[in-house]
Protein backbone atom coordinates (compact mmCIF):
# COMPACT_ATOMS: atom_id res chain seq x y z
CA UNK A 1 0.00 0.00 0.00
CA UNK A 2 1.43 3.38 -0.98
CA UNK A 3 1.44 6.57 1.06
CA UNK A 4 -1.85 8.41 1.03
CA UNK A 5 -3.92 5.53 -0.34
CA UNK A 6 -7.58 5.96 0.76
CA UNK A 7 -7.74 2.48 2.29
CA UNK A 8 -5.29 3.26 5.09
CA UNK A 9 -7.99 4.21 7.57
CA UNK A 10 -9.98 1.08 6.77
CA UNK A 11 -6.87 -1.04 7.33
CA UNK A 12 -6.40 0.55 10.76
CA UNK A 13 -10.04 -0.14 11.61
CA UNK A 14 -9.66 -3.80 10.68
CA UNK A 15 -6.49 -4.08 12.73
CA UNK A 16 -8.21 -2.51 15.74
CA UNK A 17 -11.17 -4.91 15.55
CA UNK A 18 -8.84 -7.89 15.19
CA UNK A 19 -6.93 -6.78 18.28
CA UNK A 20 -10.22 -6.43 20.15
CA UNK A 21 -11.04 -10.07 19.40
CA UNK A 22 -7.54 -11.21 20.39
CA UNK A 23 -7.65 -9.29 23.67
CA UNK A 24 -11.09 -10.68 24.53
CA UNK A 25 -9.75 -14.18 24.05
CA UNK A 26 -6.60 -13.43 26.06
CA UNK A 27 -8.63 -11.94 28.92
CA UNK A 28 -10.30 -15.31 29.37
CA UNK A 29 -6.95 -17.03 29.79
CA UNK A 30 -5.91 -17.78 33.40
CA UNK A 31 -2.34 -16.79 32.45
CA UNK A 32 -3.31 -13.37 31.00
CA UNK A 33 -1.15 -11.51 33.55
CA UNK A 34 1.88 -13.75 33.15
CA UNK A 35 5.09 -11.88 32.31
CA UNK A 36 6.20 -13.37 28.99
CA UNK A 37 9.14 -11.06 28.28
CA UNK A 38 10.43 -7.52 28.46
CA UNK A 39 9.46 -4.67 26.17
CA UNK A 40 11.92 -2.84 23.96
CA UNK A 41 13.00 -0.52 26.78
CA UNK A 42 12.70 -2.82 29.76
CA UNK A 43 9.00 -2.70 30.66
CA UNK A 44 7.41 -6.05 31.49
CA UNK A 45 5.31 -7.58 28.72
CA UNK A 46 2.26 -9.54 29.85
CA UNK A 47 0.57 -12.23 27.79
CA UNK A 48 -2.29 -9.90 26.90
CA UNK A 49 0.13 -7.36 25.37
CA UNK A 50 1.97 -10.04 23.43
CA UNK A 51 -1.28 -11.47 22.05
CA UNK A 52 -2.46 -8.04 20.93
CA UNK A 53 0.85 -7.15 19.28
CA UNK A 54 1.06 -10.52 17.51
CA UNK A 55 -2.39 -9.88 16.09
CA UNK A 56 -1.26 -6.53 14.69
CA UNK A 57 1.66 -8.10 12.82
CA UNK A 58 -0.55 -10.91 11.57
CA UNK A 59 -3.09 -8.38 10.31
CA UNK A 60 -0.44 -6.31 8.54
CA UNK A 61 0.74 -9.41 6.70
CA UNK A 62 -2.80 -10.33 5.74
CA UNK A 63 -3.47 -6.79 4.48
CA UNK A 64 -0.27 -6.72 2.44
CA UNK A 65 0.88 -3.53 4.15
CA UNK A 66 4.59 -2.75 4.34
CA UNK A 67 4.47 -0.13 7.11
CA UNK A 68 7.28 -0.12 9.64
CA UNK A 69 6.00 -0.63 13.19
CA UNK A 70 7.00 1.19 16.37
CA UNK A 71 5.55 -0.71 19.31
CA UNK A 72 6.04 -0.33 23.04
CA UNK A 73 6.63 -4.08 23.20
CA UNK A 74 8.69 -4.93 20.09
CA UNK A 75 10.38 -1.56 19.54
CA UNK A 76 11.01 -0.47 15.95
CA UNK A 77 10.41 -3.20 13.40
CA UNK A 78 11.55 -2.36 9.87
CA UNK A 79 9.23 -3.78 7.23
CA UNK A 80 10.33 -1.76 4.20
CA UNK A 81 7.72 0.97 4.39
CA UNK A 82 8.04 4.72 4.07
CA UNK A 83 5.65 5.29 6.95
CA UNK A 84 5.47 4.03 10.50
CA UNK A 85 2.58 2.53 12.43
CA UNK A 86 2.95 3.83 15.98
CA UNK A 87 1.35 1.17 18.13
CA UNK A 88 0.32 0.62 21.71
CA UNK A 89 -1.32 -2.81 21.46
CA UNK A 90 -3.00 -2.43 24.86
CA UNK A 91 -2.91 1.07 26.32
CA UNK A 92 -4.07 0.70 29.90
CA UNK A 93 -2.85 -2.88 30.18
CA UNK A 94 -2.90 -2.75 34.00
CA UNK A 95 -6.58 -1.84 33.78
CA UNK A 96 -7.24 -4.66 31.33
CA UNK A 97 -5.51 -7.21 33.54
CA UNK A 98 -7.70 -6.25 36.49
CA UNK A 99 -10.96 -5.83 34.62
CA UNK A 100 -11.05 -2.04 35.00
CA UNK A 101 -12.86 -0.97 31.80
CA UNK A 102 -10.43 1.64 30.47
CA UNK A 103 -8.10 0.15 27.86
CA UNK A 104 -7.59 0.73 24.15
CA UNK A 105 -5.57 -0.26 21.14
CA UNK A 106 -3.87 2.90 19.88
CA UNK A 107 -2.81 3.11 16.21
CA UNK A 108 -1.19 6.11 14.52
CA UNK A 109 0.27 6.34 11.04
CA UNK A 110 2.91 8.85 10.02
CA UNK A 111 6.59 9.62 9.83
CA UNK A 112 9.43 11.31 11.75
CA UNK A 113 7.57 12.85 14.72
CA UNK A 114 4.17 13.69 16.19
CA UNK A 115 3.71 16.49 13.67
CA UNK A 116 4.14 13.89 10.93
CA UNK A 117 1.28 11.67 12.17
CA UNK A 118 -1.57 11.87 9.64
CA UNK A 119 -4.06 9.35 11.03
CA UNK A 120 -4.93 8.30 14.57
CA UNK A 121 -7.29 5.52 15.65
CA UNK A 122 -8.13 4.73 19.28
CA UNK A 123 -10.41 1.75 19.81
CA UNK A 124 -12.03 1.13 23.18
CA UNK A 125 -11.40 -2.53 24.03
CA UNK A 126 -14.35 -2.67 26.43
CA UNK A 127 -17.17 -0.62 24.96
CA UNK A 128 -16.19 -1.08 21.33
CA UNK A 129 -16.23 2.64 20.48
CA UNK A 130 -13.76 3.80 17.84
CA UNK A 131 -12.30 7.30 17.76
CA UNK A 132 -10.33 8.54 14.79
CA UNK A 133 -8.83 11.64 13.27
CA UNK A 134 -7.38 12.25 9.82
CA UNK A 135 -5.28 15.30 9.01
CA UNK A 136 -7.51 18.02 7.62
CA UNK A 137 -10.68 15.92 7.82
CA UNK A 138 -11.73 16.27 11.45
CA UNK A 139 -12.25 13.82 14.31
CA UNK A 140 -14.97 11.24 14.81
CA UNK A 141 -16.38 8.66 17.19
CA UNK A 142 -18.26 5.80 15.59
CA UNK A 143 -18.87 7.89 12.48
CA UNK A 144 -20.09 11.03 14.25
CA UNK A 145 -17.99 14.17 14.18
CA UNK A 146 -16.71 15.23 17.60
CA UNK A 147 -15.51 18.50 19.12
CA UNK A 148 -14.29 19.58 22.55
CA UNK A 149 -16.71 21.43 24.78
CA UNK A 150 -16.43 25.05 25.82
CA UNK A 151 -14.71 25.29 29.20
CA UNK A 152 -16.98 26.18 32.12
CA UNK A 153 -15.42 26.33 35.62
CA UNK A 154 -18.75 25.25 37.16
CA UNK A 155 -18.66 21.89 35.37
CA UNK A 156 -14.97 21.37 34.61
CA UNK A 157 -13.52 17.87 34.68
CA UNK A 158 -9.79 17.15 34.66
CA UNK A 159 -8.16 13.82 33.88
CA UNK A 160 -4.92 13.44 35.84
CA UNK A 161 -2.14 10.95 36.31
CA UNK A 162 -1.92 10.40 40.08
CA UNK A 163 0.11 8.09 42.31
CA UNK A 164 3.53 7.88 43.92
CA UNK A 165 5.43 9.02 40.81
CA UNK A 166 3.14 11.94 39.96
CA UNK A 167 4.86 15.33 40.04
CA UNK A 168 3.99 18.10 42.52
CA UNK A 169 2.23 19.93 39.65
CA UNK A 170 -0.22 17.03 39.50
CA UNK A 171 -1.23 17.81 43.08
CA UNK A 172 -1.74 21.44 42.07
CA UNK A 173 -4.13 20.34 39.36
CA UNK A 174 -5.98 18.06 41.77
CA UNK A 175 -6.43 20.95 44.21
CA UNK A 176 -7.65 23.42 41.57
CA UNK A 177 -10.03 21.26 39.55
CA UNK A 178 -13.79 21.13 40.12
CA UNK A 179 -13.84 17.37 39.41
CA UNK A 180 -10.93 14.95 38.98
CA UNK A 181 -10.66 11.52 37.38
CA UNK A 182 -7.61 9.29 36.90
CA UNK A 183 -8.26 6.57 34.32
CA UNK A 184 -4.79 5.23 33.53
CA UNK A 185 -5.13 5.19 29.73
CA UNK A 186 -3.56 8.18 27.96
CA UNK A 187 -5.00 7.54 24.49
CA UNK A 188 -8.53 7.18 25.86
CA UNK A 189 -8.21 10.24 28.07
CA UNK A 190 -7.11 12.40 25.13
CA UNK A 191 -10.00 11.04 23.07
CA UNK A 192 -12.42 11.97 25.87
CA UNK A 193 -11.22 15.57 25.66
CA UNK A 194 -11.67 15.50 21.89
CA UNK A 195 -15.33 14.53 22.26
CA UNK A 196 -16.04 17.01 25.07
CA UNK A 197 -16.35 14.57 27.96
CA UNK A 198 -13.45 16.23 29.84
CA UNK A 199 -11.67 19.58 29.73
CA UNK A 200 -8.00 18.72 30.24
CA UNK A 201 -5.54 15.90 30.71
CA UNK A 202 -2.30 16.30 32.66
CA UNK A 203 0.48 13.73 32.96
CA UNK A 204 3.82 14.47 34.54
CA UNK A 205 5.92 11.99 36.48
CA UNK A 206 8.96 12.46 38.66
CA UNK A 207 11.47 11.30 37.47
CA UNK A 208 10.88 12.36 33.84
CA UNK A 209 12.12 8.96 32.69
CA UNK A 210 8.71 7.65 33.85
CA UNK A 211 6.77 9.97 31.53
CA UNK A 212 4.83 8.92 28.44
CA UNK A 213 6.25 7.48 25.24
CA UNK A 214 5.13 8.51 21.79
CA UNK A 215 3.31 5.17 21.47
CA UNK A 216 0.98 6.30 24.27
CA UNK A 217 -0.08 9.58 22.71
CA UNK A 218 0.46 9.56 18.92
CA UNK A 219 -3.09 8.54 17.95
CA UNK A 220 -4.78 10.58 20.67
CA UNK A 221 -2.75 13.64 19.70
CA UNK A 222 -3.91 13.56 16.06
CA UNK A 223 -7.53 12.96 17.11
CA UNK A 224 -7.42 15.86 19.56
CA UNK A 225 -5.88 18.26 17.04
CA UNK A 226 -8.47 17.35 14.41
CA UNK A 227 -11.27 17.88 16.94
CA UNK A 228 -10.02 21.39 17.69
CA UNK A 229 -8.02 20.87 20.89
CA UNK A 230 -4.30 20.98 21.53
CA UNK A 231 -1.44 19.70 23.65
CA UNK A 232 1.96 20.72 24.99
CA UNK A 233 4.25 19.24 27.59
CA UNK A 234 3.77 20.08 31.28
CA UNK A 235 5.86 23.25 30.88
CA UNK A 236 3.89 24.52 27.92
CA UNK A 237 6.46 23.53 25.29
CA UNK A 238 5.27 22.03 21.98
CA UNK A 239 5.21 18.24 21.70
CA UNK A 240 4.84 18.07 17.93
CA UNK A 241 8.57 17.45 17.51
CA UNK A 242 8.61 14.40 19.79
CA UNK A 243 10.24 11.81 17.50
CA UNK A 244 8.80 8.46 16.53
CA UNK A 245 11.13 6.37 18.66
CA UNK A 246 11.04 5.00 22.19
CA UNK A 247 14.08 6.55 23.81
CA UNK A 248 12.41 9.90 24.48
CA UNK A 249 9.58 10.50 26.92
CA UNK A 250 7.34 13.49 27.47
CA UNK A 251 4.90 14.96 29.93
CA UNK A 252 1.54 16.08 28.51
CA UNK A 253 -0.94 18.88 29.05
CA UNK A 254 -3.88 18.38 26.68
CA UNK A 255 -6.91 20.63 26.46
CA UNK A 256 -10.10 21.08 24.52
CA UNK A 257 -10.77 24.81 24.83
CA UNK A 258 -7.92 27.29 24.22
CA UNK A 259 -9.51 29.61 26.79
CA UNK A 260 -8.75 27.10 29.49
CA UNK A 261 -5.24 26.55 28.17
CA UNK A 262 -4.58 30.29 28.57
CA UNK A 263 -5.98 30.17 32.11
CA UNK A 264 -3.72 27.24 33.00
CA UNK A 265 -0.67 29.19 31.86
CA UNK A 266 -1.63 32.40 33.62
CA UNK A 267 -2.85 30.98 36.93
CA UNK A 268 -0.04 28.65 37.91
CA UNK A 269 -1.27 25.26 36.77
CA UNK A 270 1.94 24.76 34.78
Residues 136 and 166 in one domain: no
Q: Are residues 12 and 141 in the same domain?
A: yes
Q: Is 232 found in the same domain as 196?
A: yes
Kindly give the parts of the chain with pLDDT less than 70.
1-6, 28-45
Residue 268 gets the label, from left (phi > 0), alpha (psi -120 to 50) or beta, of left
Residue 43 confidence (pLDDT): 53
Residue-level pLDDT at 29: 58
Q: Quick one: pLDDT at residue 3?
A: 45
One domain, residues 76 and 120: yes
Count of CB atoms situated within 10 Å of the CB of 62: 12
Task: Say if residue 130 is in the same domain as residue 184.
Answer: no
State residue 21's pLDDT score: 95
Q: Residue 257: which CATH number?
A: 3.40.190.80
Number of domains within the chain: 2
One domain, residues 169 and 217: yes
How would you label 177-205 residue by residue, b for 16+ Cβ within 10 Å and e otherwise? beebbbbbbbbbbbbbbbbbbbbbbbbbb
What's the CA gap between 222 and 114, in Å, rounded? Answer: 8
| Domain of residue 91, CATH code | 3.30.540.10
Closest residue by Cα to residue 194 from 219, 216, 214: 219
Q: How far is CA 168 from CA 22, 40, 187, 203, 238, in A?
A: 38, 29, 23, 11, 21
Same domain? For 237 and 201 the reply is yes
Do 17 and 104 sit in the same domain of this protein?
yes
Q: How far apart are CA 247 and CA 229, in angstroms?
A: 26
The predicted pLDDT at position 28 comes to 63
Residue 124: which residues within 8 A CB-CB, separation 6 or more?
Answer: 103, 104, 130, 131, 188
Whether residue 2 is contained in a domain is answered as: no
Domain presence at residue 1: no
Among 115, 145, 175, the domain boundary falls at 145
104 shares a domain with 229: no
Domain boundary at 85, 111, 145, which?
145
Residues 137 and 174 both lie in one domain = no
> What is the pTM for the complete model shown?
0.92
Q: Coil, strand or helix: which one is 257?
A: coil
Which of 112, 145, 178 finishes a domain? 145
- Structural domain includes residue 150: no
Phi/psi of residue 169, nearest 5 degrees? -65, -30
**In which domain, by residue range, is 239 found?**
157-266
> Could you tell me if 163 and 186 lie in one domain?
yes
Q: Do both 80 and 193 map to the same domain?
A: no
Domain-embedded: residue 47: yes
151 assigned to some structural domain = no
Residue 247 covered by a domain: yes
- Structural domain includes residue 3: no
pLDDT of residue 38: 45
205 within a domain of the structure (yes/no): yes
Strands 44-46 and 117-124: unpaired
Q: How far is CA 72 from the centre of its chain?
A: 12
Amino acid sequence: MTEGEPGELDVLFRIAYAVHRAVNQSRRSPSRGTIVGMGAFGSPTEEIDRAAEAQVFSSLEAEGVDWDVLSEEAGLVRRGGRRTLVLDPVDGSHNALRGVPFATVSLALGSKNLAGVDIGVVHDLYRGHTFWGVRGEGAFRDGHRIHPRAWDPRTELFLLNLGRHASPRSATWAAKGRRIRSLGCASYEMALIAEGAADAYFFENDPPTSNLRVTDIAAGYRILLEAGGGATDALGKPVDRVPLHLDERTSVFAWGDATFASKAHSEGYL
